[in-house]
Amino acid sequence: MASPEIIMFGNPALRETSSPVTVFHKKLHRKIDTIKKILFEHGGGAALAAPQIALLKRITVINYMGEYFECINPSILEQSGKATDYEGCLSLPGYTGRVERAKTVTVSFQDRNGKERVITRSDEMARCLQHEIDHLNGILYIDHITDGFLINIDNNTKLPVNEILSLTPSRNRA
C-alpha cells in the first residue's frame, strides 16, 4: 500500500480541527510511523502534522534542530515574548512569509505510548511547535502573515496573502 501524500493548500482538510487521540495502541503507532516516513521522504520539512496527510487526529512529528518529538494531543501551556521570522509549509511549497509568534512556549503532549511530557522551547523550535499545533486547529501560517504577502522562494516575487486566502475558507483564522 502506498503512503498517503502531503495534501496541498486549498484542501478543506487543512482547515478542520483535529480530534484528540484517546487510544494508544499499535494502530496509532502505524499512523505515527506513516507521518514520520512521509516527513523523512520530504527532507526539506522540519515537521509534519497529521492533517497534512488528511488524517484529522492531534498528532505531529517534529524532526528539527537536532531534536525529534512525536507529539500526541499537544497543547500550549504558557507562552512569552514575541519574535517575527520567516516560515514555510510542506502544504504550500515554494513560498515563505513573515509570521509573529511567541518567542518561548511550554507545551504538554503525550508520546506514542500515552506518557505525558512537558517541554519548554524558545526561538526556532518554539516557532515550529506553534506552527504544528496550529495545523491541528485548522490554522495555517498564512493566517498570521505580518507583511501581507508571501514570497516565492524560487524567483523572489511577492504574492498578496489575501489572494491566496480567498482560495479556501478559514473559519478558524485568528
Q: 89-113: per-residue pLDDT in tens? A: 999 999 999 999 999 999 999 999 9
Q: 19 or 172: whose pLDDT is higher?
A: 19
Output the pLDDT for position 76: 98
Is 4 within the bounds of a domain?
A: no
Is 47 within the bounds of a domain?
A: yes
Is 134 within the bounds of a domain?
A: yes
Is 118 within the bounds of a domain?
A: yes
d(CA 41, CA 72): 21
Q: How confident is the model at residue 158 (pLDDT cuts 50, 70, 90)?
A: very high
Query: Phi/psi at 153 (nearest 5 deg)?
Result: -75, -15
Residue 62, domain extent: 12-82+103-143
How large is the average pLDDT for residues 63-75? Answer: 97
Is 163 within the bounds of a domain?
A: no
Residues 7-39 as b/e (b if ≥16 CB within 10 A, e otherwise) read: bebeeebbbbebeebeeeeeebeebbebbeebb
Output the pLDDT for position 163: 80
Domain count along the chain: 1
- Which residues are marked as active site? 132
Is 2 within the bounds of a domain?
A: no
Is 6 within the bounds of a domain?
A: no
d(CA 162, CA 104): 29
Is 48 within the bounds of a domain?
A: yes
Residue 30: CATH number of its domain: 3.90.45.10
